[in-house]
Amino acid sequence: MKRKISYFLTIAIAALAVSCDPSNEFKGYDNVSFKINYPEGFASDAVYSGPATLLDRNSGQSYSATADAAGVVTFNGVLQGSYNLTVSQTLGNAEFREMAPELAGDLKSDIMLSGNLLQINLFSDADAAETREVDLVWTVKSDIVFSKIYGNGTKTTSGGTFINDRYWELFNNSNETVYLDGLCFGYIEGNTMTGAVTNPFYEQYKDALFASAVIRFPGSGSEHPLAPGESVVVAQNAQNYITEERPLSVDLTGADFEAHYPDSDMSTDNPDVPNMEVAYKAIAGARVFGTTNGSYIMFRASDTEIDQMDKVTSPDGGTIAYLRVPNEMIMDAVQQFLVEDANRVIHEELDASFVLLGTSTPLIAERKISHTEADGRIVLQDTNNSSQDFVVTSYTEGATADYLQPGQYDKPELM
């Protein structure tokens, strides 16, 4: 019996020694590769040479790499997990013209290249050995971008949620003055609150998005300038929503514009703040602009142009007609999900991913700062990939709601 015990003890000690040997620890997969392809219409010899990021969907750990001379991005030391790959790069106008002269045409702006692969499973040597391909898409880089979206509502002292204190902040990310006159933004039809609901417009129309409502800055063309590095705040209603019952709300009386609906019992006009023009409402009786976790687009269109745009009912049926906005008109797009497995409403070339809001209140989605120019002007991050470009700040118990106030671009979490 002693001999048997001694034998099994020896085996156990040996096994323990092997398991504790650092040389046997899994160091991660090497040579996890992705071939990055330029969009159709680019020169056949054009090779992508920019960065890519591999993000663990669960832990949040990220790996960064740059494409080699063959346009292949390779990551090493990648731990087992489920990953998302994102690719984004700004291409200067001159370089764009050289690489894709027919696509460039008379365009004078820089463009954004972007692409992604979602739910890449790396759990075996075979998974890691596969070279996957990513096809990039291109869009015109926008001068004006959404910089802050506050729309999930705030807590009340009675335990409820108050959702009328919404606002949107837009930022001039260029080095030239831009006029807001005629600039529209709208919220997109579709459910991003659950993965159980698909969005038929997204599934069936790849060349456009469909807006439930559109508001527009007033003016004849040069009445509302926005200087480089400056922002403008559009409140749902420009009211002070901070009360004894809503101590975590915001004071929006200082907003630059408000999305007032004159025919709504939920919309209160502030005579001291200019109203946005209501350019389109799919639901005539809609009481407010926006939704708690809405996805938004920005474009320019006059009344005449909106009248000429298609109004389309849902492929699932119904009589409500939504405004069809072609992809090529869209200057900026931000897709927001309440839960990670929600289904898309915005196409990948406009927003490669999404802002994951979650269900806590109050919270705010804010665009990160890319860098600061020599003259002190900040430039916000704009890679057409909201999961990379935005950070979501939620309420911490016992804190104040100062972080919800508009116009703040010096917060550490944005750096």
For residues 12, 15, 16 and 18, what is the CA-based torsion angle, rounded to 10 degrees? Answer: 160
- Give the model's pLDDT for residue 285: 83
CA angle 106, 215, 274 (to 5 degrees): 110
From 357, 393, 400, 145, select the one nearest 251 (Cα to Cα).
400
Where would I find the H helices in 87-154?
A: 93-99, 101-104, 125-129
In this structure, is the dihedral angle defined by the CA atoms of residues 390, 405, 212 and 318, taken in order, positive or negative?
positive
Structure tokens at 400: 């104040």
Query: What spatial distance separates the first Cα and last Cα of the chain, rounded to whole Å?
Result: 67
* CATH number of this structure's domain 23-140: 2.60.40
H or E element at residue 6: helix 2-20
pLDDT digits 0-9 by tens, 319-339: 999 999 999 899 999 999 999
Residue 31 phi, psi dihedral angles, 5° rounding: 60, 40
Render each residue's pLDDT in the chain as its tens digit; 415 residues. 444 445 445 445 444 444 455 555 666 899 999 999 999 999 999 999 999 999 898 888 999 999 999 999 999 999 999 998 989 888 888 999 999 999 998 888 888 898 888 889 999 999 999 999 999 988 888 899 999 999 888 999 999 999 889 999 999 999 999 999 999 999 999 999 998 988 999 999 999 999 999 999 999 999 999 999 999 999 999 999 999 999 999 999 999 999 999 888 888 899 999 999 999 999 988 888 987 789 999 999 999 999 999 999 999 999 999 999 999 899 999 999 999 889 999 998 899 889 999 888 899 999 999 999 999 999 999 988 899 899 999 988 888 889 999 999 999 889 8
Q: Is 296 helix (H, G, I), strand (E, B) or coil?
A: strand
User: Which tokens go with 243?
Assistant: 């009360």
C-alpha pair distances (Å), 87 with each of 36, 129, 195, 384: 8, 20, 25, 10
- 298: β partners: 185, 332
Looking at the chain, which residues constitute the CATH 2.60.40 domain(s)? 23-140
